[in-house]
Every structure is written in C-alpha cells, then in structure tokens.
Amino acid sequence: MSSELRLALAQANFCVGDIAGNRDIIIDLALRARDAGADVVVMPELAITGYPPEDLLFRPGLHARVKAALDLIAARVTGIHLVLGYPEPDGERLYNSCMVLHDGQVLANYRKQHLPNYAVFDEKRYFAPGDCAVVVEIKGVRMGLSICEDIWTPATAAQARAAGAEFICNINASPYHLRKAPERLAAVRAAVAAGGIPVAYVNTVGGQDELVFDGGSFALNADGSLAAQAPAFVEDLLPLRVERGAHGVELHGSHPEAESSEEEAEVYDALVLGIRDYITKNRFQGCVLGLSGGIDSALTLALAVDALGAERVMAVSMPSRYTADMSIDDAREQAINMGCEFHVVPIEQPVGAFAEVLAPILSGRDSGVAAENIQARARGVILMAVSNASGRMVLTTGNKSEMAVGYATLYGDMAGGFAPLKDIPKLLVYRLCNWRNAQSAVIPARVIERPPSAELRPDQKDSDSLPPYEVLDPILERYIELDQTPHQIAAQGFDLATVKRVAAMVDRNEYKRRQAAPGVRISRRAFGRDRRFPITSRYNEQDEP
C-alpha cells in the first residue's frame, strides 16, 4: 500500500426505471468524489436501474438501455475507481451484480450470492445466485465485494477474507422499517467478527412506492467499532480513509457516530421522504387531501407540507350536516398555521341529490350505512375532481388500525393515489402529532384531544364500532405482524371474544385492502407487499380449540 486509499460512499436517491437519469447521477457523483480526492466511489445496489426494478427486469429493452448507460459511464468517469451495482445478463441467466470500473476498463465483477426471498423481497424470481468471492486490489489494498443480503450471511465475509480481502465493500438497497438501523449494525458486526476484517456498508436512500430507503451508510472496523456514519433519510457522499495499521487495514471516517433518535422522529422522516418521492417521481404537481378536523387528516397535512412545501399542498374541508363547527374551525386553523391553500366545500347538496335519485331503490331498506357511505363517496368525488383539474395527487388519510378492520369506505375516504398513514397504527398517529407539535405547534390541540369520530351520523364516535385503540392496536400488532392466533393473543391478557371479533374484521376486509392506495411501509409487516392473503378464503381461526 503506497499511500492511504480514499473512498466515497455515495448514499444516493435513484428512480426505478430512469436509466438515463440514474446514469447522470452516477456520473455526477463519481466526478464530484474524484475532484474531492477519492480514489474509489461506491454506488448502491442496482444503482443504474433503481431498486427494486421488479418485472422491468423481464423487459429486453431495459437491458439494452442499461448497457448503453454503462458504456457512457465508462467513457465519462475517469481518474477514479467506480463500484457500481447493475443487472448482469449472461445467456439465459440474470445476476444482481456489481463491477469495479476504472478508466473504461472493468477490473472486477461480483455476483450476489444470497438472494432474499421473504417479506418485500422476491429476488429469486429474477436472479440466479453467484457462488464465489471477488477481490480487487486498488493502491495496494485488497477490497472484497459484497451485495446487501450477502453481509447478513457471515460466512460470505469469511469467504472474502479467505480469498485475500483486507476489507469488504458491501453495497445495498436495504429498505427501512422501525428499528432497522440497529439490526443492520448487529448483522454487519456479526460479519466483521466472522471475517475478521472491516466492512464499508453503503445504502441507497429515497422512496419507491411503498418502500423507503433510509440510507444510514456506515463503516465498521475489525473490532466492530464504528468508523464512519452517514445521516439517515438524506443523500450524502460519505468520505472514508483506508489505512494500514499495526493490526491490518483500518477505516477512518469524517462523520461522528449518529445520535440515536426518537422513534417518532425516525418514522416522521420516513413518511416525509416517502410522500416527497412518490409525488415527485410520479410527476404530480403536488397533493390535495380532505382536511376533516380529525387527527388523521391533521397529521397527513403536516407530513405533506413538510414533504412538499405549502405551495404544493391543498386542503379541502367538506362538511356535512353532521360536521361540528369546531371541525371546520380546526381545519382552517391548521391550514393557516401551515400556509397552504384551503377551501370549504359543503357536501349537503350532492348528498341530497344522491339520496333523491336512490330513493326508489332504497325505499323500505335499511339505508343507514349506505347513507353514511354516500357522504364519504361524495367527498371522494370532489377530491378526485380537484386532482384531475390541478394535477395534484389525492392523499388518503386512513391509518393502519382502520385499514385492518375495514373502518373505511371504498371509493370514499379510500379514494386516492397514496396513503401515507397506511402502516401507522392509531396510537402512533397520536404520538406523531404530539412529536410534530413539539417541533412547532401547527396542529390545533383540540384535534388531538377530541375523541375520534367519522362524523357521518349524530354524535358518532369510533368507539361505537371499535374497541378502544389502546386495546385494538396491540391486538392488531399481534395478529397481523406477529401472526399470533386469537387464543395466543387472549393468553396475553386480552378478552377472547374481543380478539375473535377483531380477527374476523381483519379477515373479511381483505377485499378492501386489496383495492387501497399504496402507502409508506414502516413496520415489519405492512399491508401490500408484505402480507399476501387471499381475498376469497374460508379459512377461519376464530373457532380454534
């Protein structure tokens, strides 16, 4: 090793399928890193396509564009080594690979060995596994290559060490869920212990449909100590020095160890990033949402404004005869506090028109629920009309507790393009509102303090239809995220009849959730990609002995 080796870990935000845009980001970051004195710049997993590309990988045209982009990168990026993740076709097989490129030449190529096929991952659908370690020498230092899941299997670190690696460069597209950062640190520390060499871990950042990638790139030395740490939820070019000391290669970074953050701050940042990227990457002008004066829409508005800026957000109050004056007042106050466009559009007239045309059909029938849902659907029509006219996406405001038990109206309050709170239980909604107000008081206190209500009939409260959220949310967590049976849940101190009732509500509302907008994933088991249950099913755990 003639002198120290300087790396730059590119914690970048790519867009799936935007091959030309991702190419330009890669070139820009590589040249910036070179000009800052780096010898090696490291991009995340599948940087050229964005992650996850899903069935785009089946499109022949994608691979032609990837090849053209790689050729241009090779021509433009000079004077620095580039570690770049890309899909590598080889005959009938496709690999999740990374190359080391220098002055137009490919010095090394590594194929991911361990393909995740659980939770939100289905890489075995697309890729074949690699089977060997790859080590490349740069300025006298032998660097082993590794991709994402490989580092969660400590044997691959030992394999790299046996092949001569002095440290490992691991590239990732590792999505966020609550408390994911300490899990990653523990996994990489296990790999460090198995291999006995340092690891530089680079992660992508940004929102992609339901997934949020939180970055948080870092480096660990051979003793498991943290050498460098990038911030979470923002782009960063993390500098890293590789030096040979008395006990082998050591990594040194310019960022101190990140302070542990509150869970509320972590989740809030994830939601903001998810909203911003979903709206922006899908080329919407902004967003519009129904601001009811309730806590869910209040949190959604705060998130939207923090994500997009007040000028790109419109809030609409749509009162009915059952809407309390305080609901309109609180909605207006929050919109003023946050500086966004606000409108009041009463729904009495369209609801009356629906009642009139439906009267011959509904006469003599119990129309209570139908009448309530007409109100919600009238609001959905109004918001979608605003969306069509303004180019703004409708944000739905329902939370995970409501979506779990079907406490939502198809084509009504479920109408929209994105559901920021889809994976946020009701109790966490309260915590997030209180956390946001602690930063600056934008949500009226009365919104947080009032008993929650859909306001679709006189004196309605959520507790009329649902168990208290203090009971409901823990049951839902155990049933949905932990896959516990009703009897297992009841054994933990919950009323068995209540648990069975909640489980039955969850099961019979799968058809609603299948039609719901995507939303940010913050838990280990979100509705959608994570939890895939049949709509038509007679499986029933309620009568379990």
Taking only the tens place, the pLDDT of each residue in 114-127 is 999 888 889 999 99
Phi, psi of 229 (to 5 degrees): -150, 125
- What's the whole-number mean pLDDT along residues 24-39? 97
| Whether 414 contacts 512, CB under 8 Å | yes
Look at phi and psi of residue 46 and say left if phi exceeds 0, alpha if psi is from -120 to 50, else beta: left
| 445 pLDDT higher than 50 | yes
| Whether 426 contacts 473, CB under 8 Å | yes
Which are the contacts of 213, defined by CB distance < 8 A and separation ≥ 6?
51, 173, 174, 175, 176, 203, 204, 205, 206, 207
- 187-232 pLDDT tens trace: 999 999 999 999 999 999 999 999 999 999 999 999 999 999 999 9
Instruction: Give rounded-to-5 percent helix, strand, coil for the chain.
Output: 40, 20, 40
Write down the pLDDT at residue 364.
77
| Whether 210 contacts 528, CB under 8 Å | yes
Q: Which pTM value belongs to this model?
A: 0.93
Phi, psi of 408 (to 5 degrees): -165, 160
In the three-class reduction of DSSP (H, G, I as helix; E, B as strand; rest coil), residue 221 is classed as: coil
What residue spans define the domains of the chain? 5-256, 264-462
Helices (H) and strands (E) in the chain, counts: 16, 19
Phi, psi of 218 (to 5 degrees): -160, 170
In the three-class reduction of DSSP (H, G, I as helix; E, B as strand; rest coil), residue 90 is classed as: strand
- 260-301 pLDDT tens trace: 578 999 999 999 999 999 999 999 999 999 999 999 999 999
| 302 pLDDT higher than 90 | yes
For residue 541, with 0-12 CB atoms within 10 Å meaning exposed, 13-18 middle and 19 or more buried, which class applies? middle
**Per-residue DSSP letters for 93-106?**
EEEEEEEEEETTEE
Range from 78-87, 249-258, 301-310, 493-502 carrying the lowest mean pLDDT:
249-258
Write down the pLDDT at residue 254.
75
Q: Is the peptide bond before 452 cis (omega within 30 degrees of 0)?
A: no
Write down the pLDDT at residue 385.
96
Write down the pLDDT at residue 219.
96
The answer to whether the Cα torsion of 466, 472, 475, 476 is positive or negative is positive
Spatial separation of the C-alpha atoms in residues 352 and 371, rounded to whole Å:
10
Q: Beta strands of 124-217 (E only): which ranges?
A: 135-138, 141-147, 167-172, 199-203, 205-208, 211-214
Assigned CATH class of 264-462? alpha beta
| 440 pLDDT higher than 90 | yes
- 148-196 pLDDT tens trace: 999 999 999 999 999 999 999 999 999 999 999 999 999 999 999 999 9
Write down the pLDDT at residue 529.
83
Write down the pLDDT at residue 371.
84
Spatial separation of the C-alpha atoms in residues 160 and 147, rounded to whole Å:
12
DSSP state of 418: B
The two structure tokens encoding residue 472: 């409901």
| Whether 397 contacts 412, CB under 8 Å | no
Spatial separation of the C-alpha atoms in residues 177 and 267, rounded to whole Å:
9
DSSP state of 290: E
The two structure tokens encoding residue 263: 């869970």
Confidence of residue 544 (pLDDT cuts 50, 70, 90): low
Confidence of residue 1 (pLDDT cuts 50, 70, 90): very low
Domain 5-256 in CATH 3.60.110.10? The answer is yes
Write down the pLDDT at residue 120.
87
Among 287, 389, 293, 303, which Cα is nearest to 338's? 303
CA distances from 81 to 63, 101, 218, 230, 400 (A): 23, 6, 19, 21, 45
CA distances from 106 to 40, 83, 135, 400 (A): 14, 10, 13, 47
CA 277, chain centre distance (Å)? 10
Instruction: Name which residue leads in pLDDT, 461 or 266.
Output: 266
Write down the pLDDT at residue 248.
86
CA distances from 200 to 226, 384, 390 (A): 10, 47, 45
Strand ordering across the sheet containing 105-111: 105-111, 93-102, 81-90, 40-42, 5-11, 236-245, 248-253
In the three-class reduction of DSSP (H, G, I as helix; E, B as strand; rest coil), residue 57 is classed as: helix
Percent of the chain with pLDDT over 70: 96
Among 200, 156, 176, 146, which Cα is nearest to 38's? 200
Write down the pLDDT at residue 366.
74
| 402 pLDDT higher than 50 | yes
| 258 pLDDT higher than 60 | no
What is the average pLDDT value for the chain, to the nearest integer?
92
Question: Catalytic residue numbers?
Answer: 45, 112, 148
Spatial separation of the C-alpha atoms in residues 519 and 527, rounded to whole Å:
9
